[in-house]
């Protein structure tokens, strides 16, 4: 039974490779340029609606820069991405300091 599945898989994979090669040869398969200047990481963050994200930019084997997208969103809109205001953060810190002192 395993041999039949492996043969079927090999047949299917070889045909898919052939179709892909044919489409590339005929020019039906091309890279789409959407004109968006944002990096792919930023596009995924927006698409998945992620919060508190830090992106690290790496080129080749060199570390380039770290981006905190939460801070960038706060600077653009004036409102923190998390919805937590400075007053809320201060109150939380005061409460945690109070608990630590007990």
Q: Indicate whether 1 and 51 sit together in one domain.
A: no
* Radius of gyration of the chain from its Cα atoms, rounded to whole angstroms: 25
In this predicted structure, what is the pLDDT of residue 6? 94
If asked whether residues 21 and 71 sit together in one domain, one would say no
Ranges of residues in the chain whose predicted pLDDT is under 50: none
25 and 47, same structural domain?
no
Is 34 within a domain?
Answer: no
Q: What is the DSSP string of the chain?
A: -HHHHHHHHHHHHHHHHHHHHHHHHHT-S--------S-HHHHHHHHHT--S-EEEEEETTEEEEEEEHHHHHHHHHSS-TTS--HHHHHHHHHHHHHHHH-
Q: Is residue 91 part of a domain?
A: yes
What's the CA gap between 67 and 58, in Å, rounded?
11
Residue 95: the pLDDT is 73
pLDDT of 76 reads 66
Kindly state the percentage of the chain with pLDDT values over 70.
69
Q: What is the mean pLDDT of the chain?
A: 78
Q: Are residues 65 and 88 in the same domain?
A: yes
């Amino acid at each position: 039974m395993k041999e039949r599945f492996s043969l079927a898989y090999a047949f299917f994979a070889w045909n898919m490779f052939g179709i892909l090669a044919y489409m590339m040869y005929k020019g039906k398969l091309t890279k789409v340029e959407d004109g968006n200047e944002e990096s792919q990481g930023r596009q995924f963050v927006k698409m998945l609606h992620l919060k508190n994200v830090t992106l690290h930019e790496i080129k080749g084997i060199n570390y380039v820069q770290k981006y905190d997208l939460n801070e960038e969103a706060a600077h653009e809109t004036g409102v923190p991405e998390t919805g937590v205001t400075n007053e809320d953060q201060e109150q939380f810190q005061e409460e945690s300091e109070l608990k630590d002192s007990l």
